Structure 1
């Protein structure tokens, strides 16, 4: 079996079975590629995870891209991404098409149950990330200030300000994350090639808004919005929620009910949470939508992840030794908790909780996830059924 095919088969199996979010995915990767297949050592894998947590974007997907890149070059990175990402993306596009076709005939309570479980999922993420990324009061204060600023100043500008403020706060406080291990990462990319990928990343970040404004093409506007969401989110996973909400509002596709229902379903499928973009691209009432919109949004939100991983790998050994860079990262991570806390209130809470029944269902879901340690897909299915019967 060729290295590319082996990479695709390995990641496809995980794309069909890896539930539970980024932390669970990283554990699955470690079991599969360090212990079972022995593609790399435990120390090298830990270093790879540290790199991808340092970068903005979906950490687990970036680790997958890096593993494929190291195993079989650029084709290996593509194979890893396709295997891990497409199963959940296809399921979410199908759900979006079904919601557009049969949404009016679905029980109101079913969608309300899906929105309630979104409250529980984000609340659990806020709590878990807060405990790990804000272990002291200075960083907790950074998170609270970031949440307050974002609620007062919603939108991309507010989010960027919160992230920049977190970096400056981390530098001022001297917060730091531990340095990575001594083992060097094997990078099959030259520094010249890495600079090319980083140049393309920056060109997309600044060039796409200009193109979308100049040509006023809906497809360009869609690519620009989802590219920025994938490029600017630190913390990955649930933290992309407010950026995607802003993107949908900017595109005139802001429908809170379907947004939160799709987000709830995204918890019940395997693979990366960023595939929620495929649902949003497919579900939009304006073109491009359907399969074309879903795949376009999917490619746009993941493109920065590849460009950053390919661009950063050759420079990681120097970057990880920089204490100031690690301090800034610690502050950014605290700000990320604040961004997610703001999203928990608006749009998640305000869009889902309209009375005591929705609140009770969200509380039960949170208890099942946190104390009952039930898998997310089971909690989502249970809340959808409970919502259809009770709400």
Structure 2
């Protein structure tokens, strides 16, 4: 057994081919090869989507060499521009591009199921505890939250180093972070991301300069026409038109001769027609579910849960940190889950590895506790309801991406989307900092600035990860221990 595990580890670390009993190698069986490269991610990916993106870059770009930095930055911007779980879409798309659709779906379950099952177990346990937790438990949870904030802040800095390529992208990162801190609404984050894309598109395509030059040429032409001899125009009235046509033809030929960059994927996915059909089918399904949500609301808790999760998974942009306030509105406001259970679960789930969208599994199991639907069914309904929209959209876009990415305007827009999304990561750091502290009196979450010790924990996890190579799991554990030390010194 130990020898087999060692051989699998050699496959991942050194790229060796592990021989199977039938004479084949793991590298020739896509599913086993996918497992060898991805099985551990659902257990070690602490810190939320911002940390996940940095981890994926180190793994898929620097270690496995499945794609280069440019392609990774494009996919990052693409995943931020689509609704749904950002880091989960990234892992899914990379594995689909490398192995194909079936292994991509399997990679999604390998990534999400471990902590989804743990979240379901947490909900079962939360249902059985008393309303009031012992004080050391609150201190431990606050320590976990503080360490998580430090990890996310470090990931934001590391991501910004890749996103900032010039003065414009630096400005977009700053403005995205500042604007995200000042206001919070469902429509706001998508607008910020779109504005970032428009800014780099206008810059890279020099739209403002072209418009200014075209206006200047038009004014100059009008001035010349006013001063030109009418008799000369009569001799050759078509000359200006012919000159313009020649210039347009020359520019068109130059654009056509410019070679387009081919996709970095080694696998042929779907045609653009198939991708368009997949996207169209999603929007039809969304319209049907929302119509049924309006007609059959409050008749069946299980359907209401799925419809709310499906809606949340469709309209969430920005990944895990954005899903938290939206789920609070859709789950706590109707009275399905108490505010205490919501914040208690949030504090614990943030310390879990894997996608933050697994928080929906925890809420789904609690949301059906006063109905005829079993808790396990509620967890499964919430899992598929929150994840399916984003994965469906990502699958459809993969079909048309190989054609769309050749357009210079699209590539320019993704540069701005990437920068704006990184700016919103700094926004997530601020918002997590403001709800990280918990105790018996502050059940809705308070700022970690309530005591300097929590800020010290934030700084410890940040500096430890940046300069001392402390891993996210170790930083999370250290934060919990420091939380208990604070309780022993200050409150005991």
Summarize the alignment of residues 43-58 of structure 1 with structure 2, pairs less than 5 Å apart. Answer: 46=72, 47-58=74-85
Distance 1:332 1:110, change over 3 A: same
2:257 aligned residue: none
1:322 aligns with 2:386: no
Deviation of residue 243 (structure 1)? 2.2
2:296 aligned with 1:209:
no
Secondary structure of the equivalent of 1:77?
Answer: helix
Q: CA deviation at 1:87?
A: 0.8
Q: 1:112 offset after TM fit, Å?
A: 5.0
The aligned residue for residue 186 of structure 2 is 159
Query: Which of the residues 439, 446, 452 maps onto 1:353?
Result: 446
Determine the structure 1 residue equivalent to 2:272.
191
Distance 1:380 1:201, change over 3 A: farther
What's the offset of the Cα at 1:86?
0.8
Larger displacement relative to structure 2 (318-327 or 261-270)? 318-327
Which residue is equivalent to 2:460?
A: 368
Residue number in structure 2 paired with 1:74: 101
Gapped regions of structure 1 (runs ≥ 5): 151-157
CA distance in 2, matches of 1:169, 1:69: 28
State the partner residue of 2:379.
294
Structure 2 vs 1, CA of residues 387 and 87 (structure 1 numbering), >3 Å: closer, same or farther?
A: farther
For 1:249, the equivalent position in structure 2 comes to 332
Match of 1:155 in 2: none
**Deviation per CA, 1:14-58, whole angstroms, max 9, x where unpaired?**
2233334435444554565566666x3436862544533443333
Equivalent runs, 1:91-106 vs 2, <5 Å:
91-104=118-131, 106=133
Deviation (angstroms), 1:244: 2.3
- Corresponding residue of 1:149: 183
Find the aligned partners of 1:274 and 1:175 in 2 and give their Cα distance: 34
Using a 3 Å threshold, how does the CA distance of structure 1 residues 97 and 3 change in structure 2: closer, same or farther?
same
Contact conserved, 2:320 with 2:357, CA < 8 A, in 1?
Answer: yes
**C-alpha separation in 2, matches of 1:379 and 1:230:** 33
Q: Determine which structure has more spread, i.e. the larger CA radius of gyration.
A: 2
Q: Is the 8 A contact 2:289 2:307 kept in 1?
A: yes
Residue 223 of structure 1 corresponds to 306
Give how far 1:270 is off: 2.4
Equivalent residue for 1:153?
A: none
Q: Relative to structure 1, is the Cα distance of residues 41 and 162 closer, same or farther in structure 2, using a 3 angstrom cutoff? A: closer
Aligned twin of 1:154: none
Confirm or deny: 8 A CA contact 2:176 2:421 kept in the other structure.
no
Which range moves more in the overlay, 104-113 or 217-226? 104-113
**Closer, same or farther: CA 388–8 of 1 in aligned 2, 3 Å:** farther
Q: What's the offset of the Cα at 1:271?
A: 1.9
Task: Tell me how far 1:85 sits from its aligned partner.
Answer: 1.0
- In structure 2, relative to structure 1, the CA distance for the partners of 1:170 and 1:78 (3 Å cut) is closer
Question: C-alpha separation between the residues in 1 aligned to 2:85 and 2:456?
Answer: 28
Give yes or no for the alignment of 1:4 onto 2:92: no
Q: Distance in 1 between matches of 2:480 and 2:382?
A: 26
Contact 1:159 1:339 in 2 (8 A): no
Partner-residue secondary structure (3-state), 1:56: coil
Question: 1:219 Cα deviation (Å)?
Answer: 1.9
Taking the aligned partners of 1:119 and 1:228, their CA distance within structure 2 comes to 31
Taking structure 2 as the reference length, what is the TM-score of the superposition? 0.64
CA distance in structure 2 between the aligned counterparts of 1:60 and 1:143, rounded to whole angstroms: 19
Deviation at 1:213, TM superposition (A): 2.3
SS for the counterpart of 1:101 is coil
Whether the 8 Å contact between 1:66 and 1:77 is mirrored in structure 2 is: yes
Q: Could you tell me how far apart the structure 2 residues matched to 1:339 and 1:33 are?
A: 26
How far apart, in 2, do the equivalents of 1:172 and 1:10 lie? 38
Query: Residue 5 of structure 1 contacts residue 79 of structure 1 at CA under 8 Å; is this kept in 2?
Result: no
